[in-house]
């Protein structure tokens, strides 16, 4: 059976059916070599020359990720930020970019400074409203529309297909930060996106022990080649051990994401009508503004991320976080252990995040235990 013809869950579990040709080993080795031998006739038939450009360990993880996203090719980077910044650094001064008001805050902060320094025109818009996006496009100048859905940390939903159509009609590309959805829940390329970005630190690796990033492209293009060259030249590559850990983590991606989605849905429903909770932000709640679009473009669940707004404001939210025992007070997301953080403390005074908001990353523990711990903390 051609490993590319099977379902994505099978691709992930078996890493595209990888078996070592020589030893028949079922788990890949970690290739640490920095350089590769030239053939006597001065050629490189292995296709590999030097490890800032080529490494068999990250090549394998890239092939699996490209298959999971249904893309032409993938590139791994040293972090999610290295992947995302490579996309913007491959634009030209004078280009116009649209990005969401609600998005991963480190990238938004970097983008503001970089856009000013690089001469990029940048507008942060309400990406959940296609009418707003259409109105913000500058015909001829807009080169990229950056989407994040569900978006950190309010879990707002952007209609990927509608937004990509608007971008393409204006001759712009569309890129999706799909970190929160993972390839399990959403396939941005099939919905029209040109590029998908992941912080592989999160669900793809899933064990809170690797910092990594990835880009996947729908097709080869001069722009993709610029990004590829930038990775080689800036050297923001993933080390072989990290690539190997990431490959190992991706094998269990589907059951981990499914468990997190099931528990997040239960937790969201449980606390939606809670006396100490002002609001639950989760696209899986039928009352959520993005629910209908999320239903249409996500499959198998609404993600493992949700936020609670605690009654009593910032002090009550911080006190709740202080009392959890099973949940861990830490930033990041997408790991097997459940994390909680008072997000406004992380983002600082310029943040649009409400001060009473706790961001929850649901792991794979027993959902009843997670609910019980949150109940005692809220009381
Ligand atoms: C964590 C994260 C990033 C940045 O990734 P790093 O691996 O930390 O560099 C970008 N986007 C989203 C949505 C994230 O959660």
Reported as a pLDDT band with limits 50, 70 and 90, residue 115 is very high
pLDDT, one tens digit per residue, over 294-334 is 999 999 999 999 999 999 999 999 999 999 999 999 999 99
| Cβ-contact 332, 351 below 8 angstroms | no
Give the CA-trace dihedral at 258, 260, 262, 263, to 10 degrees. Answer: 160
Tokens for 46?
């292995």
- Which of 48, 52, 112, 248 is labelled catalytic? 52
| Beta-bridge mates of residue 341 | 359
State whether the beta carbon of 202 lies less than 6 angstroms from ligand 1: yes
**Ligand 1 centroid to 26 CA: how many Å?**
31
Q: Give the span between the Cα atoms of 179 and 81, in whole angstroms.
A: 12
pLDDT, one tens digit per residue, over 38-80 is 999 999 999 999 999 999 999 999 999 999 999 999 999 999 9
Nearest CA to ligand 1 atom 4: 80
pLDDT at 136: 98
Set out the domains of the chain in order of their start, with CATH numbers.
Answer: 3-250 (3.40.640.10), 254-378 (3.90.1150.10)
pLDDT, one tens digit per residue, over 226-245 is 999 999 999 999 999 999 99
Task: Give the global pTM.
Answer: 0.98
State whether the beta carbon of 80 lies less than 6 angstroms from ligand 1: yes
Tokens for 120?
């990029």
| Cβ-contact 28, 244 below 8 angstroms | yes
Long-range contacts of 35-39 (CB under 8 A, 24+ apart): none
pLDDT at 348: 81
Q: Give the span between the Cα atoms of 184 and 38, in whole angstroms.
A: 40
pLDDT at 226: 98
Closest CA relative to residue 298, chosen from 218, 184, 197: 184
pLDDT, one tens digit per residue, over 77-109 is 999 999 999 999 999 999 999 999 999 999 999
**Which residue from 77, 78, 79, 81 has its CB within 8 A of the most atoms of ligand 1, so it is best to mutate?**
81
Among all chains, which residue has been given the structure tokens 């390839």? 183
State whether the beta carbon of 211 lies less than 6 angstroms from ligand 1: yes
79 Rama class: left (phi>0) / alpha (psi -120 to 50) / beta: beta
pLDDT at 61: 97
Q: Is the pLDDT of residue 3 over 90?
A: no
pLDDT, one tens digit per residue, over 175-208 is 999 999 999 999 999 999 999 999 999 999 999 9
Q: Give the span between the Cα atoms of 374 and 269, in whole angstroms.
A: 13
Percent of the chain residues topping a pLDDT of 70: 99
pLDDT at 123: 98
Q: Is the pLDDT of residue 4 over 70?
A: no
Q: Is the pLDDT of residue 350 over 90?
A: no
- Range 151-172 average pLDDT: 98
Across 153-175, b (16+ Cβ under 10 Å) vs e yields bbbbbbbbbbbbbbbeebebbbb
Q: What mean pLDDT value characterizes the chain?
A: 96
Nearest CA to ligand 1 atom 1: 199
- Per this entry, what is the length of the chain? 379
**Ligand 1 centroid to 104 CA: how many Å?**
7
Nearest CA to ligand 1 atom 7: 80
Nearest CA to ligand 1 atom 5: 80
Tokens for 209?
């022990």
The SS3 of residue 172 is coil
């Amino acid at each position: 059976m051609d490993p590319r013809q099977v379902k994505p869950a099978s691709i992930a579990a078996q890493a595209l059916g990888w078996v070592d040709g020589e030893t028949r080993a079922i788990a890949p080795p970690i290739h640490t070599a920095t350089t590769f031998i030239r053939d006597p006739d001065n050629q490189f038939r292995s296709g590999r020359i030097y490890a800032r450009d080529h490494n068999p360990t990250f090549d394998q993880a890239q092939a699996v990720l490209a298959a999971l996203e249904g893309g032409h090719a993938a590139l791994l980077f040293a972090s999610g930020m290295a992947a995302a910044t490579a996309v913007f650094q491959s634009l030209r001064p004078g280009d116009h970019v649209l990005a969401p008001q609600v998005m991963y805050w480190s990238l938004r902060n970097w983008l503001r400074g970089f856009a000013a320094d690089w001469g990029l025109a940048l507008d942060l818009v309400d990406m959940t409203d296609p009418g707003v996006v259409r109105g913000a496009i500058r015909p001829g100048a807009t080169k990229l529309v950056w989407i994040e859905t569900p978006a950190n940390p309010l879990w707002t939903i952007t209609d990927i297909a509608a937004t990509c159509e608007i971008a393409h009609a204006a001759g712009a590309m569309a890129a999706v930060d799909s970190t929160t959805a993972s390839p399990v829940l959403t396939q941005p390329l099939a919905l029209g996106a040109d590029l998908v970005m992941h912080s592989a630190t999160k669900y793809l690796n899933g064990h809170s022990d690797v910092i990594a990033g990835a880009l996947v492209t729908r097709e080869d293009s001069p722009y993709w080649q610029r990004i590829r060259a930038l990775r080689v030249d800036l050297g923001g590559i993933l080390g072989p051990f990290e690539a190997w850990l990431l490959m190992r983590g991706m094998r269990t991606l589907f059951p981990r994401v499914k468990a997190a989605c099931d528990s997040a849905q239960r937790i969201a429903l449980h606390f939606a009508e809670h006396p100490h909770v002002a609001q639950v932000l989760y696209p899986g709640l039928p009352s959520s503004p993005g629910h209908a679009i999320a239903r249409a473009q996500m499959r198998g669940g609404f993600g493992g991320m949700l936020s609670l707004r605690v009654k009593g404001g910032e002090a009550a939210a911080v006190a709740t976080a202080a009392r959890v025992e099973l949940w861990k007070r830490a930033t990041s997301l997408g790991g097997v252990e459940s994390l909680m953080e008072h997000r406004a403390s992380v983002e600082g005074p310029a943040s649009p995040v409400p001060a009473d908001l706790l961001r929850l990353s649901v792991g794979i523990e027993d959902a009843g235990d997670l609910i019980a711990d949150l109940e005692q903390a809220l009381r």
